[in-house]
Structure 1
């Protein structure tokens, strides 16, 4: 009897968290990050400031509301991949399954502009990506029984995390992702010149 009620409670918490994050992003995009207070966000989401802090550690975390989920997903992709699937192939599939939808979001450009134009968000984003690199690198290292500071594992993690930025703005983002993973998997080869007409 308690399971449905716990499940309902979890859904309600998730919905409240999402409503707060959505309200915050909308306010940040409309007014600028520095012009919006936690009280403004709480009012827009119709919750108390205490509720905002119950769900988010601070103002920056409101912008990157899926941060912890993304980090956990990356680690799970490596650790829970099907038997026989290589680490790069598992990561390739994950990037192809998740990134194009994020990049194609109607607010993706506005979000990127917000982060890039706000020093505190840019710094937070860089710390977040460093943490992702460390977590992903450690998961890869564990799979091969090597030290967490193994350079090959760190390089793979770093390049995988940079793929969305490398592919951004390309006409065929999916093909760009595939190209970078092919380089990671098979090595770099000099590009060939187009044939003369």
Structure 2
């Protein structure tokens, strides 16, 4: 039974990747708005219904890892060690992702294709804004669980808005530099410095004691 489930899951992963690859190829060649789901299905040699079984919307074909983008900061805050503030944990996580060239910070080999596709499509730009809004809302809820400010979550929402603004600006700066054809190592260095400065400003404004994890939590 375990082997059977493993085979089924592998087939699902393969189908998902096949659909995603076919979609991205068509989007890059012709533009996101100029490709239909039916054409993606034909290129992937699956039915239109199969595409929707794996991807709820056409935009989801591009933002295949959006759940990681939305949930990542909250997960970072929830799993930080005792004695560490939320801002420090988020700073460390961003810099770690930058060093590893994680695509979720819009910086990895081949990500220029994604940046160009995003730059050319109003629909994908709108989805990007929506993803950051969802990310901010979840992060605000996470802060509200821990900050003990007692203002109905207002401080948590303000802090989440500031953190998300940093992530959003750095994401778009990375895309801008990639589209300008700048050297990847130079981009990484500039983003790292910009992130340090941004999180220093956040820490100075928010305070080093905001959402510091206590022992036993």
Question: Are 2:73 and 1:70 equivalent residues in the alignment?
Answer: no
Report the equivalent of 1:186.
204
Root-mean-square deviation over aligned CA pairs: 2.5
- Structure 1 unmatched runs, 5+: 189-197
TM-score, length-normalised on structure 2? 0.74
TM-score, length-normalised on structure 1? 0.81
Q: Is the 8 A contact 2:163 2:202 kept in 1?
A: no
Question: 1:180 Cα deviation (Å)?
Answer: 1.6
Q: Measured at CA, do residues 167 and 119 of structure 1 come closer, stay the same or move farther in structure 2, by a change above 3 Å?
A: closer
Of stretches 49-58 and 144-153 in structure 1, the one that deviates more from structure 2 is 144-153
Question: 1:187 Cα deviation (Å)?
Answer: 4.7
Q: Measured at CA, do residues 155 and 125 of structure 1 come closer, stay the same or move farther in structure 2, by a change above 3 Å?
A: closer
Deviations 1:42-80, CA, capped at 9 Å, x for gaps: 222232211110011111111111111321222211112
Of stretches 65-74 and 145-154 in structure 1, the one that deviates more from structure 2 is 145-154
SS where residue 83 of structure 1 aligns?
Answer: coil
**Pairwise mapping of residues 126-137 of structure 1 onto structure 2 (< 5 A)?**
126-137=129-140
Total equivalences in the alignment: 187
Give the Cα–Cα distance (whole angstroms) in 1 for the partners of residues 62 and 107 of structure 2. Answer: 18
Question: Are 2:116 and 1:117 equivalent residues in the alignment?
Answer: no
Give the Cα–Cα distance (whole angstroms) in 2 for the partners of residues 32 and 139 of structure 1. Answer: 37
